Each structure stands twice: as C-alpha cells, then as structure tokens.
A and B are shown apart, each in its own frame.
Chain A
Amino acid sequence: AQKVTQAQTEISVVEKEDVTLDCVYETRDTTYYLFWYKQPPSGELVFLIRRNSFDEQNEISGRYSWNFQKSTSSFNFTITASQVVDSAVYFCALSEAWDNFNKFYFGSGTKLNVKP
C-alpha cells in the first residue's frame, strides 16, 4: 500500500493564483517526519520543509505555507500568489521511527504549471 499519496498528478494555475498541493500519508508509528521537496526542470530535488509528528502548528515561509493535520493524516502545501518560477514537480515524503527514519517514502509527485 502507498504510504504517501499525492492524488493530484498535475495542476495548472495562472500567475498570482493561490494553489494547494495535497499529501495524505499512512503510518502506524506515533513518531514520524513529513517532508516536501521541489524538483525544478533541472532535476535536482530541493528540500523545502521537515515537520515532526508532534508539532501540528502550521508553518509559513514567505509565500509558502504548510498545514499538518494528524486527524486526517494530511500535510498539505499552499503557495500563495504563485509565480512562474514555482513551476516544478513537488514531492511529499514520510520517514518513520521504526527504522530510525532511514528510509524515506515518497509520493508520486504533483506537477505544478504556473502560467504567466
């Protein structure tokens, strides 16, 4: 079974629109970490954020914000006032305590197209 599900395969928005990328995870561990990475056309994955299972506070970093809800096992990512440079594939990932957080389970990614 998929541990991390990103149901949105591709999203297209017009610049300055807000957009939310969904991430649903599955784990039996009480201690785990969630991550978001950005993969621009160049291919390298860029780390965006890490969140632990004990901290459900929302986080904001500039135009980016993350909403972590344990009740729905979701860790959604919102880009406010999107820009063309936000066009990329975004991956959500999970690591768990049972194997010392060694393996990362990645979702299949959401491709975001921001049009001018």
Chain B
Amino acid sequence: DGGITQSPKYLFRKEGQNVTLSCEQNLNHDAMYWYRQDPGQGLRLIYYSQIVNDFQKGDIAEGYSVSREKKESFPLTVTSAQKNPTAFYLCASRAGTAITDTQYFGPGTRLTVL
C-alpha cells in the first residue's frame, strides 16, 4: 500500500536532548512537509522540501532542522534550542508543483518533553 509513515507514534524526551522524528513516503512524491500542531490549534509549517537536497524554512523553523538526502525520506530533528517542543508533529507529501497536487498526511508523532 502506498502511503506516508511516521515513527514513532509517541516519543518522550528529556529536556536538553535532541530527538529525530522519521517520515517516509512511498508515493514517489517530490515535495514533503513538516507541521506542528498544538492542542486546539491549527497547523504551523516548520520546514518543507520541494526536491532532494533542498529545503526551505517555514513559519516556525527555529529550533528544528531537517535533511532531504533521499526522495522518500524527510526526517525532522527537534533540537534542544526549541523552547517548547511538546506538540503533535505531522508530516505531509505532495506529488509535485502541478496545480492539482494535494498534500497527503502521515499519522503523526506526539512528542512529549519530560
């Protein structure tokens, strides 16, 4: 089945530690995205990548880093510089830049800082 997988589903981290969230897609999509969702809030864009080896900051990139070494993978690292990292993180992908392309989402990772 084609789709987007995110792992782990739940993640706990101690303050001061970096942690990496995984996002993999087998849809052969060019573009990938990371969003953050806080309780009762909408989605805020962290980073996005339109092609391999290229990515752009979104609206709340501070304290996060990404890489795009392979088309199917777009891992997100939450660094210790992120002051309030507890949130629900959603990864999405999109086929390309065609007018009809839609973003499809993974199941999400819930990160809790202890």
Contact = CB atoms under 8 A, between A and B. Distances in A.
Interface of A: 9, 31, 33, 35, 37, 42-47, 50, 52, 91, 97, 100-104, 106-109, 111
Contacts of B84: none
Given A31-B99, A102-B50, A42 B45 contact: no
Given A101-B97, A101-B101, A43 B43 contact: no
B43 A47 contact: no
A100 to B, nearest CB: 4
A103 B83 CA distance: 25
B97 A104 contact: no
Q: How large is the interface on B (under 10, 10 to 19, 20 to 34, 35 or more residues)?
A: 20 to 34
Given A100-B97, A102-B48, A102-B50, A45 B90 contact: yes
Contacts of B110: 43
Contacts of B107: 42-44
The majority secondary structure among interface residues of chain A is loop
Interface of B: 31, 33, 40-43, 45, 48, 50, 58, 88, 90, 92, 94, 97-108, 110
A35 B48 CA distance: 19
Question: A-B pairs with the 3 shortest C-beta distances?
Answer: A108-B42, A100-B97, A45-B105
Contacts of A97: 99
B108 to A, nearest CB: 4
A43 B50 contact: no
A107 to B, nearest CB: 6
Contacts of A47: 102-105
B103 A44 contact: no
